[in-house]
Amino acid sequence: MDPSSLDSAELQKFLQQEKDRAMINQMVGKLTEVCWDKCITSTPGSKFSSSETNCLTNCAQRYFDLSVMIVKRFQSMLAGVGRVKRMRSTLRHPSEIKRPYLLAVHLRRSNGYFMVSNISRR
Residue range 17-60, pLDDT digits in tens: 898 888 888 888 888 888 888 888 888 788 888 898 899 888 88
DSSP letter, residue 114: E
pLDDT in tens, 94-103: 455 455 444 4
Burial class (CB in 10 A: 0-12, 13-18, 19+), 112: middle
Identify the pLDDT of residue 48.
87
Q: What is the pLDDT of residues 10-23, one digit of tens each?
A: 888 888 889 888 88
User: Residue 94 carries which DSSP code?
Assistant: G
Looking at the whole model, is its pTM more than 0.85?
no
Contact status, residue 99 vs residue 84, Cβ threshold 8 Å:
yes
Burial class (CB in 10 A: 0-12, 13-18, 19+), 40: middle
